[in-house]
Structure 1
């Protein structure tokens, strides 16, 4: 899902329209669209028969946000993956998780793979663990630079919500 605000207006929620290739759902309205990358780094967008050029002004991969310039308007865009939406619905924010040294399971699931080992230095954004939950594979990433103190789970392990998976220093 993409959430966008335009100069304080919005938010607009945009997501793929299920079963409708070439369409998106924008705040509940079905819209036809296509986007083609331009050599300049921007995009040529065709939406409901209208053509736009969107230039990327700024990106922040850690915060999963970008600023687009379309004509005279700037759009602040936030991208949410399914795991982001699930965590938000459970009241768990990324900011809150940054203050905690232990990585805990936000939901019950199966650990598919542990990507780190004790003593390993990790950087913010590094993949740490893959958890399968609700038929989705979720890659958990380090919220900050740290050192892995202890790995409490192994691949193939079932975990419960709140269970400590990895202890960080």
Structure 2
């Protein structure tokens, strides 16, 4: 089960564990989806047609940005462990001091959104990494101050390469 939100007012519970069905807020969710390649999909739901594109994904923060019929939608997901930590009041206890941000995959730096000395909060966008024709916004893993940038615009980077150092 996942809890998906697009903001404080929009919240859905999605159960995808059954191989042949998905439920949305406890109700069956019937859809037909065609993979068009390169993160693009065509979806049919209740007689309506939708074009969906995955703009970026951040698996660490469970943040996904989609374009649905040209409209940008940012989704935040919480799994059962995130929800349990939240109920126990420990959602922030799991965070640790982070000294650097590393590339999650090989790619090309297409945008740098911070400068050394800048204070950032967890979730603030730092860099945009293009990989497999998709732009991935790399966000601050914790609150801190940018100590240094280890890449330049248009640099090719390898998985695990240090991109940003924090003070």
- TM-score with structure 2 length normalisation? 0.50
Structure 2 unaligned residues grouped into runs of 5+:
4-11, 23-30, 35-40, 49-60, 64-75, 80-92
Bigger radius of gyration: 1
Aligned twin of 1:162: 160
Instruction: Identify which of 108, 111, 117 aligns with 2:109.
Output: 111
Instruction: Identify which of 21, 44, 49 aligns with 2:43.
Output: 21
Q: Across the two proteins, how many residue pairs are aligned to each other? A: 108
Q: In 2, Cα distance between the equivalents of 1:139 and 1:111?
A: 10
Could you say what the CA RMSD is over the residues aligned between the two structures, in angstroms?
Answer: 4.1
Indicate conservation of the 8 Å contact 1:112/1:131, yes or no: yes
Q: In 2, Cα distance between the equivalents of 1:152 and 1:143?
A: 17
Distance 1:115 1:168, change over 3 A: same
Structure 1 unaligned residues grouped into runs of 5+:
24-31, 35-61, 65-76, 81-94
- TM-score with structure 1 length normalisation? 0.50
Q: How does 1:100-139 map to 2 (within 5 A)?
A: 100-139=98-137
Aligned twin of 2:146: 148
